[in-house]
Chain A
Amino acid sequence: DTGVSQNPRHKITKRGQNVTFRCDPISEHNRLYWYRQTLGQGPEFLTYFQNEAQLEKSRLLSDRFSAERPKGSFSTLEIQRTEQGDSAMYLCASSLGDMNTGELFFGEGSRLTVL
């Protein structure tokens, strides 16, 4: 299967620790998105890459969050000094073209629990 892959699927950490999530998009997709989803809510946009360039960031992405996509392939999302409010499902999606003409393909998500 060559869908969007996210790791780890579940991370439990203590408040104040740093965590990193990895996303491997579908190989030919040039666009990559990170979303956050909390229980009972829809996904909320965090950031967007076209190839290796980070072109848009939501105001939800505080300075404790950083995302990278070196070489335009996989991406990492790091959260520093985690807080309990960071507990959520972090979703990655990729697409080949513009979302209006193409389609976003989502991974199954990485669930973060901050104790």
Chain B
Amino acid sequence: GDSVTQMEGPVTLSEEAFLTINCTYTATGYPSLFWYVQYPGEGLQLLLKATKADDKGSNKGFEATYRKETTSFHLEKGSVQVSDSAVYFCALSGAGRRALTFGSGTRLQVQP
């Protein structure tokens, strides 16, 4: 079945550091890929998405590129801020599925 594997956290960075959170997936066909973010005390919200190979999703300075050859969708940001501290979830929607399959989440802590 479909699955998503994320790097374990927590990831602790200083403000303005470069961020990478790795995400790889297993799915049949051509899934759509997503990053959701959960800020403290809030519900999950969509950060970015990509629906086909080589697409790049971007939002709020975050980027991720759909790499079919490596089945990856790594999240990157050039300069993190304290306000980016949150839990980040990689997810996919497989062909013909109505539900998202989530990874286990990666907690990011950004220190001033």
Query: Do A and B share a complex?
Result: yes
Q: Which residues of A contact B (CB under 8 A)?
A: 3-4, 33, 40-45, 48, 55-56, 58, 91, 93, 99-101, 103-109
Given that A42-B91, A42-B104 are known contacts, is A58 also in contact with B99, CB under 8 Å in the complex?
Answer: yes
B105 shortest CB reach to chain A, Å = 5
Given contacts A42-B89, A99-B100, contact A109 B43 (CB under 8 A): yes
The tally of residues in B whose CB lies under 8 Å from a CB in A reads 21
For residue B103, CB closer than 8 A to chain A, the reply is yes
Assess whether A41 is in contact with B98, with CB atoms less than 8 Å apart.
no
Is residue B58 contacting chain A, with contact meaning CB distance below 8 A? no
A21 to B: closest C-beta gap in Å:
14
Residue from B43, B91, B99, B102 within 8 A of A107 (CB atoms): B43
| B69 contacts the other chain (CB 8 A) | no
- Is A108 touching B100 in the complex (CB atoms < 8 A)? no
